[in-house]
Amino acid sequence: MRPPLIAVVCRISLPLLCLIATGCGSGALPFQLASVKGTVTYKGKPLEKGLIRFLPDTEVVDGQVAGKMAFSNISQGSYSIPAERGATVGKNRVEIVGYRETGKTTQVETAIIKEEVQFLPEKYNTSSTLSANITPGENTLDFDLE
């Protein structure tokens, strides 16, 4: 006796759907990530509080840049990004923002928060001219901003 048509369709389509859902590759990223750490100074002093971003400036694959943005908080002039969420190997645009307290406070619900402003020039963040070449493995990159 022949199996019902629905059973045949399920036997064929279920494995096909599993292949499509999981992909045919090994699941590896089409780009390589690397750890990055270092220091950031502004006018000769460690940047007390801020954020550093590495944005890949590499080849375009299927209309998208091959890579992902990586970022880290800057505290007392130091930052560190582990390899598992690291910067994309290759050329990266670097953006750095720095925060300092204004002396004012703001109440948000039940908490009182110290107000901060971003104070670094645009040439280090929104209009950044900073770049870095990330290599496989561990990278140490120091930025001395004037």
128 assigned to some structural domain: yes
Total number of domains in the chain: 1
Work out the average pLDDT over 103-122.
93
104 assigned to some structural domain: yes
Rounded-to-integer distance, Cα 116 and Cα 112, Å: 13
Q: State the residue for tokens 């104070």.
A: 119
Q: State the residue for tokens 């925060």.
A: 99
CATH code for the domain of 130: 2.60.40
The burial class, CB within 10 Å (0-12 / 13-18 / 19+), for 64 is: exposed
pTM here is: 0.74
What's the pLDDT score for residue 31? 84
19 assigned to some structural domain: no
18 assigned to some structural domain: no
136 assigned to some structural domain: yes
For residue range 32-81, list pLDDT tens digits in order. 999 999 999 999 999 999 999 999 986 665 655 678 899 999 999 999 99
Domain residue limits at 83: 28-145
What are the residues facing 2 on neighbouring strands?
none
10 assigned to some structural domain: no
What would the two tokens of residue 46 be? Answer: 């460690």
What's the pLDDT score for residue 57? 85
14 assigned to some structural domain: no
- Give the count of alpha carbons within 13 A of 123, CB side only: 4
76 assigned to some structural domain: yes
